[in-house]
Amino acid sequence: RVLREHKEDYARHGFDLIGLITGSAAAALILYALSEAATLGWTAERVVGCGLGGIAVLGIFVLQELRSKTPIIDLGLFKRPLFVQGNLIMMPAFAMFTGFFFIFTLYLQELQGWSAFQAGLITAPASLVAAVAFPFASIYYARIGPKRMLLIGCTLSLVTLLPFGFLTAGTIVAILIVVLCVRAFPFSFASVAAQTLIYGPLESSKQGPASSAYNTMRQVSASLGVALIATVLANQTKSELGSLVSKAGATTPTAHMTRLAMQHGYQMAFFACAGLMVIPLVVSFFVDNKKAEDSLKVQLETRHQAAVAASTPAAEAGAAQAAGGE
């Protein structure tokens, strides 16, 4: 009712149907392979077949997008260093984020015995902290600067993940909630800085294509994160269980052995989540702070001038109409 219809120029000249079909097929095959890898293993025929098939179709999609006048995803965006760096920061971060919450909710249910609903209530306060942190991050972005904000956010995100590697089946819930809330704050700052790096320097006509590329990569990274972390959890649990059974000289594991093996598996999986955050931290060191700030300022000024120019004809028409009425 309120928003006016708006179409960018690139969206007025046809639709890339081949790109839609090949891009969707590639994404579906790759995401399915990654999701199944968590349970079937990376060498399962279904995983390998869908994964390789998805990569092959992805190659066709890339060729189509490079020659299309109206691409589904503008691959030219990946020629821009800030856009690439922002995505290289956010992709491992999203892989960590989804992988972490996947195994954390399992940890609460399998090791601590909470129900799914109770596990959701335990993680809820961290979401509220993140909701509060995001506006603060937006306010302080200009004061701190993109590079410093990324380095601080990624470093603290990495550090606040480490305590989860020492959780046991008997860790007090209040401690879990506090550590979760502490972890949410720096991650919000890192996310705001990285997304500003991606979208801030882009002209308005590139915002839509950038959103398509970013969200596609985010979904793939999320599935990859769950698959990787779940694989670490399963492998470490199996390895530790075999070791415990062997040391005890038993033929079958006891309930206590199984519990200890699961605890070790979760600890190693949480450490793997921390390992994923090393990638965004390393990439942050290579961000050109001055270039990021200057590019954002230029785009903000351009958008302001465009807004003023768009409002001027309306103001003049209103004044002329008023004068005619008089």
**Full-model pTM:** 0.82
How would you classify residue 74: left for phi > 0, otherwise alpha for psi between -120 and 50, otherwise beta? beta
Q: What pLDDT is recorded for position 208?
A: 83
Residue carrying structure tokens 């809330």? 181
Q: What pLDDT is recorded for position 326?
A: 46
As to burial, measured by CB atoms within 10 angstroms (0-12 exposed, 13-18 middle, 19+ buried), residue 312 is exposed
Distance CA 190, CA 153 (A): 4
Distance CA 100, CA 164 (A): 10
As to burial, measured by CB atoms within 10 angstroms (0-12 exposed, 13-18 middle, 19+ buried), residue 237 is buried
As to burial, measured by CB atoms within 10 angstroms (0-12 exposed, 13-18 middle, 19+ buried), residue 228 is buried
Q: Are 180 and 123 in contact (CB under 8 A)?
A: yes
Tens place of pLDDT for every residue, the chain, 326 residues? Answer: 888 877 767 667 778 899 999 999 998 999 888 888 877 888 899 999 999 999 999 999 999 999 888 888 888 899 899 999 999 999 999 999 999 999 999 999 999 999 999 999 999 999 999 998 988 888 888 788 888 999 999 999 999 999 999 999 999 999 999 999 999 989 889 998 898 888 888 887 788 888 888 998 898 899 889 989 998 999 899 899 999 998 888 888 898 999 999 999 999 999 999 999 999 999 999 998 888 887 777 666 766 666 666 666 554 555 555 455 44
